[in-house]
Every structure is written in C-alpha cells, then in structure tokens.
Amino acid sequence: MKKIKITCPAKINLSLEVLGKRQDGFHNIKSIMQTISLFDYLTISTSDFNRYEINLSGTSSEIPYDEKNLVHKAIRLFIEATNIPACKTEVFIEKNIPVSAGLAGGSTDAAGVIFGLNELFGGILSEKKLHEMCASLGSDLNFCLAGGKQMTNGRGEILTPMEFEEFNVSLIKPKNLGISAKEAYTKFSDLIKTADKEKLQTRQNYVNDLEWALIDDYEELKNIKKLYPQAVMSGSGSVFYIKDNTFSAVKNCEIINNLKSIPYGVRISQ
C-alpha cells in the first residue's frame, strides 16, 4: 500500500471581473486569487487490486462520496492519463472549507488528489500535464494547484504569478446559504441584459462582479454588507472576507477569524 496526506488550501478572490460569455457556456474572467490558511486534508492510499476501484469517505455530510464528487472524477482522469496498474484508490477528505462558499473547496480537493496521486506514483506526469488535467476538470483547479497570488484569466485556468503579500484575513458565511457558481454567473448575465442604467453604474462600486449580481437577492448578504461595508464576497459566495480585521458575532453566521494569506497551493502535509 502507498499512502500520502495532502494539504489543500482555500482561496479568496481579491478582485473578480466577469467578461464576455464564451462559446463553451462559461464566462471569461479577470481575477486576482489568493490562497489562505484554511485547509482541507486528503489522506490518499492506493493498493494493488484486481480492478480499478475508488472509495471516498470523509468528515462532511454536505458533500457526496461517489462519482458526483470532483475528487472521484479527478482520480478517474488520472487513471486514464497514466494507465497505472489496476488498484484500489481510497481518499479520506477532512473537510474544513465551507461548501458552496466561493472558496474553491471542491476544486482544491480535486487538484490535491491529482497532485497527491502523481507524487505517489513517482511524478509520472509533468507539471504541464497536471495543469492540462486541472483545466479539463474546472475553472479554479489550476490556481489551487499553483497557489500564492495569481492573476487568472480565461475561465480561471490561465495564471500569471504576482508578488506575494502577507496579510491577515477573516471569513464570514451565512448559515444554510450556499450559492453555486452556475447560479451566480446566470444572475450576472441576466442582470447585464435587464438592468437599468442606474443599476449598471453601481457595478463599479464592487470589487467582485458576482457580489454586485447577487447581493440584492439575498437578505443574508445585504445584512453582512450593511454591518461590514468593507467586506468583499469571494467568488460566487456566500462567504465574505475582510483583510487585516476580524468579524464580531453576527446572527445566523459562521465566522473564521485570524487566517493568513499563504504563498503556496496544494502540497504534501508537513
């Protein structure tokens, strides 16, 4: 049996500009992303077996542990790309990153399992190939693989490293509110088409275009913004972050204070 533990950091969007819609249905974006010191942990083990088998388990009741999980899809892709011998792959997901929160929790786990399997099998795939696999699975995986501070373009898979800046960061998430990326981008598209001139002009007041598109639809988001005007929504939400400050208790919200920006992506746990 081979075994490895991988640290998978969350990300925040320091800026997010949504550009035109692509022919593949996604939007082009221009976003500065930053990894932070909030981590999921993957314990990955492989053992010889008479067929390929994938078993997922973990600590969260909010995610599936079957082929719907992006980690499962990533393992399948790795097997197809490498033709490794038949084996049983088991992954235990210690889930600390909130789900459907705009923090790339699913993407970082998927990037982490690709990275971890490649380490277990002796680095059989190049970094370029790993990034190609990540790009085929989702928009944030490439950033999660690289980490640090990056300008991201395209769907988010085109990375340009930026100078790392250390800062403290805190998160706040409305309880029982998760927002999918599909919902957020659909609402953005609809708003661009239907908003009047006055509403369109308010877009410039937001660091994150998706926050502008979503905030009027959710009282929970409006309440956070009212209490903390300097807070910024990450990705498609529903988490907001604040730099170099902390959140106080807010009704029906979960708070994680005293995190930091970090200069790395997925990696072997120390």
Q: Which amino acid is at 11?
A: K
Which candidate in 95, 140, 149, 187 is catalytic? Answer: 140
Contact between 265 and 145 under an 8 Å Cβ cutoff? The reply is: yes
Q: Which amino acid is at 247?
A: F
Which candidate in 11, 95, 173, 187 is catalytic? Answer: 11
Tell me which DSSP letter residue 98 carries: P
Contact between 110 and 63 under an 8 Å Cβ cutoff? The reply is: no
**Catalytic: 48?**
no
Q: What would the DSSP string read from start to end of 146-191?
A: H-SEEEEETTTTEEEE------EEEEEEETT----HHHHHHHHHHH
Sheet strands (E) in the chain: 2-21, 27-48, 53-58, 87-94, 149-153, 158-161, 168-174, 232-233, 240-243, 253-260, 267-268
**Catalytic: 11?**
yes
Residue that is written with structure tokens 């239907």 in the block: 194
| CA distance to 152, 248, 252, per residue, from 64 (Å) | 28, 32, 25
Radius of gyration of the chain (CA): 19
Residues marked as catalytic:
11, 140
